[in-house]
Amino acid sequence: MPVRIGFTEYRLQLLRQELERLISELPGLGALKVILVGDLLTEKIGPSSIIELVIVQETTELYLDRIDFFVSHLRPTVGVDLCVYTPAEFAGLESTNLAMYNRIKPEGILYEI
């Protein structure tokens, strides 16, 4: 299906605006580090592009409960995919989740305490 002229620019602007809002709220929710991955980082935007974030947070909550916490508090207005790790889990990503580890780039770090 052909993409309408200007759609990519519009989608990019929409994603960037929402990302800016999310980043302003994440520190208040306990995020120690926030990393952008995916289409928005590479700016290879398409109709199904979403915001993909890796969040590091000190928590004892179960993995899915962590994601639910952020989604319910942030109430995103566009598609968002969140991966929320504890500092220890994040430090061990290379050995536990190589696919995610390889997606993380230094230029994607948006926030870090």
How much is the pLDDT for 4? 58
Q: Kindly tell me if the per-residue pLDDT of 96 is higher than 60.
A: yes
- What does each C-alpha distance from 94 to 58, 62, 97, 104 come to in angstroms? 19, 20, 6, 10
| CB of 82 closer than 8 Å to CB of 55 | yes
Per-residue pLDDT of 23-55, as tens digits, reads 999 999 999 999 999 999 998 998 899 999 999
- What does each C-alpha distance from 68 to 41, 46, 74, 83, 92 come to in angstroms? 23, 26, 10, 11, 23
Give phi and psi for 6, each to the nearest 5.
95, -15
Q: Name all domains of the chain by residue range, CATH numbers in brackets.
A: 7-112 (3.30.300)
Per-residue pLDDT of 54-95, as tens digits, reads 999 999 999 999 999 999 999 999 999 999 999 999 999 999
